[in-house]
Each structure stands twice: as C-alpha cells, then as structure tokens.
Amino acid sequence: MIYRSKAPLRLGLAGGGTDVSPYSDEFGGAILNATISLYAYASIEPLEEQKIIIESIDRKEYQEFGFAKQLPIDGIADLVKGVYNRIQKDYNAIKQGFKISTFVDVPAGSGLGTSSTLVVAIIGAFVEMLKLPLGDYDIAHYAFEIERKDLQLAGGKQDQYAATFGGVNFMEFYANDKVIVNPLRIRQEYLNELENNLVLYYTSTSRESATIIKEQQKNVLQKNEKSIEAMHHLKEQSQMMKEALLKGKVHEIGQILDYGFQQKRQMASNISNLLIEDMYDAAKKAGATGGKISGAGGGGFMTFYCPGNTRYKVIETLHTFGGQIRSYQFVQHGLTTWTAS
C-alpha cells in the first residue's frame, strides 16, 4: 500500500502579513487568498525493514535512519521529521519502518506558501495511513503548531489553512491562534476573468522569508508606527478585495493590488528591492494596473493584474528580466488524501 496526499499552493491576494503574530494577536488580521493548481505532494510506503527513509525528490535530499520514536532535527527534511516526531509524541501509532517521499511543484522560498503546504501534505499522508480523527481545522492548526512552535520557524498562519481548506477564502486571525475561515462564493465568470487577467511570474530568485518576517515582528513589538499603519491598511485592503470579488468589480482589482503593494513595502526593509521595483514599473508601463510580491517578499513569485488583453504585452516585458511565467488555474479543493494498492 502507498498512502498519498496533495495540497494546493495559494495566491495571497490581499492582507498579506497581517496573519503574523504579534500583529494578529494585538489588532486582529485579515487575509484573502485563493488556492491554485500547483501542489505539494507526500507519499508514505510501509517497509518490512525497521528503518525510516526520507526522500525529498525536488530538493534531491535523501536520508536513512534506524526506526526510532524521534528523528534528529538537523536542517535536512526537517518538515518531515517535525511532523513524524509530533505524531509519534501525540499518538505513538507508527510501529513499523516506512519510506516517505515529498515533492513540491515550485522552489522553496518562492512565496506561494510552499513550506506550510508541504507540512499539510505530510500530515495528510500520515492521517491517511493511520486513520487519525482530524478535521480540516485540526489539520491546519496542527501544521501551524509543528512549523511555528515545534520547529520554531518564523511565519504566519494563512498558508496552513489555505492548503487544508482550498478555494477562495477570507480568513480572520485573532489572539490565542484563533482562525476563522470564511469560504467565498464567487461567481464563476468573475473567477474566470480574474484567472485570465492575473499573470503569475517567477522572478527566478528565492529568499529566506524568516528574516523578513522577523523584522516585521520586531517592528510591531517596538511600536514602529509606519510599519503598523501599513499593516492596518493591508487589513483594509483584504476587505476591499473581498467586496470587489463578491460584487464582480474585477476591473478594480489592479488598483487594490497596487494599493497593497505600496503599503507592504512599509512593513519591513527587505520586502522590496531594486529588481522588484524595476519589474513592477515595467509591468505597469506595459499595461498592468497593479500587482504584488507573493509571500513575505524579497523575491520568489510576483502577480500582476492585466486588464483587457494587456497580459500579452506584460508577459513579453517580464521575459526581458529572465524569469518565468507559470500557468495555473484556481482550484476549489484543499488537502486530498488517498490510498493506492
């Protein structure tokens, strides 16, 4: 038997960064995101030998261990080990050796929630194998706790919930790690137009999101007014985006994205840089009405809203920067698990 899972990556459309503590604890955060047809995958195959094999196919990492209740956190495949260690601690349900293989459709550090989505997929494969009684909120919160508390990786809360629930969601974040996921019923024609007009561009650079997020957290703790005010505006942006999508005011989305781009740059010093600014300006000159840096910023993916038929001119312009356009579709499903015989 092979126990498999896949979880979709997400496009953050508005409110990015307001899901990060301590801002969300003190002021409450709000984010609007949508899952897309790029995925993180995990497969578990039980072994007769009492050993554990971890293979990260996309990262070309491979490790073997004798069967143990806890695996060392040593900088290689720590997300897999973190999930395994926590499940063994809480359930003590894994009694035999296994091989777990993972793959993500885009590079780590690209801003589409890769790490958290992979954690959700890994949990999903173990849930499928062990038949653990975990619902969507349970899995998303479990992923958050493993990543942020057990492994002490800096970041927010939106990615785990997006990957688990799927679809277009307006999410609210409060103190004590409380999260409310509000699925949005958006007319298909509005989603079709948004999908057609949003260009997803990989800058061919990645970044260490934790560094940027730690500066953002420090700015809130030190009561940096400029940074906190920017986060307030981004929370407001998520409401603007929700209304535009629900009411079909798709033509306003470029301006809403541009508003968020101007605000996000105020949150931390490394969110934007000269290359990102040049790309953004060139895309706007080619016809985009707005865009955003995905995830924490600093590199990775960018999205641009291109009304009418301007997407073709924008794509042509972006190609001159040496990155790649990635095709995608919006997907409504979240974490999916199954067993193959």
Which residues neighbour 117 within 8 Å (Cβ) at sequence distance 6 or greater? 7, 8, 9, 10, 39, 40, 104, 159, 162, 163
The alpha carbon dihedral of 49, 52, 56, 62 has a sign of: negative
Q: What is the DSSP letter of 37?
A: E
Please tell me the distance from the alpha carbon of residue 186 to that of residue 247, in angstroms, as a whole number. Answer: 8
Please tell me the distance from the alpha carbon of residue 247 to that of residue 251, in angstroms, as a whole number. Answer: 11
At residue 135's C-alpha, the angle toward residues 134 and 139, to 5°, is 70
Catalytic residue numbers, as ranges: 159
DSSP codes of every residue in 119-181: HHHHHHHHHHHHT----HHHHHHHHHIIIIIIS-----SHHHHHHHH-SEEEEEEEGGGEEEE
Residue 117 · residue 5 · CB < 8 Å: no
